[in-house]
Amino acid sequence: MAQFPHLFSPFTVGTVPLKNRIVMAPMVVGFASAEGRVTERMKAYYAARAAGGVGLVVTEATIVHARGLGIKNNHACYDDSYLPGLRELAQVIHDGGAKAFMQLCHAGRQTTSKLTGQTPVGPSAIPCPRWQEEPEALTKEGIREVVEVFADCVRRAREAGFDGVHIHGANGYLISEFSSPLTNRWSACTSTRCSVW
């Protein structure tokens, strides 16, 4: 492709070598089980995309804590029982010739206790306009716990064979809630970032 001379050339993200510069962005498709586990349908979906020739597949928003579930059938990784399915998912992506990153996400206030069974959390007790449920304002200890659950999921991604993680820090979810005065009275700046090992 003369218009895009570098598109099919190798590229490195951190220390992860990619066969080309085509990345499948994370898109929530809801193919996980009701408990957030990897299903055959999910594996087939990602296997097909990897086999299509992309250099990197970033899996859909993977929930780091049950309280952070944003939609039904959202993929999850918040305890070690998810590891067998995560290993299978990473393997089918690798078998298709692509590298695999896992996107990690916490919905923050953009959820409801009807879905999660728990009160949503956020930087401040400011309800999401869509769900109209007042979140519990995170304390410093609560923030430390959120950091720990993200770190635990990074460990699980690595143990499962993923090549890196992508932290979802946009779209009004928990991390981006900290960077907006609309959702955080004490505003702390952050953004979407990638981490590789």
Which residues are tagged catalytic?
A: 173
Residue 57, classified by CB atoms within 10 Å of its CB into exposed (0-12), middle (13-18) or buried (19+), is: buried
8 A C-beta contact, residue 194 and residue 180: no
What is the C-alpha to C-alpha distance for residues 137 and 121, in angstroms, rounded to an integer?
A: 6
Q: Given the structure tokens 């952050």, which residue do they identify?
A: 190
What is the C-alpha to C-alpha distance for residues 135 and 75, in angstroms, rounded to an integer?
A: 22
Query: How many CA atoms lie within 13 Å of 15's alpha carbon, on the beta-carbon side?
Result: 5
What is the C-alpha to C-alpha distance for residues 142 and 122, in angstroms, rounded to an integer?
A: 10
8 A C-beta contact, residue 115 and residue 130: no
Q: Where are the beta strands (DSSP E) in 30-123?
A: 56-63, 99-105, 121-122
8 A C-beta contact, residue 116 and residue 74: no
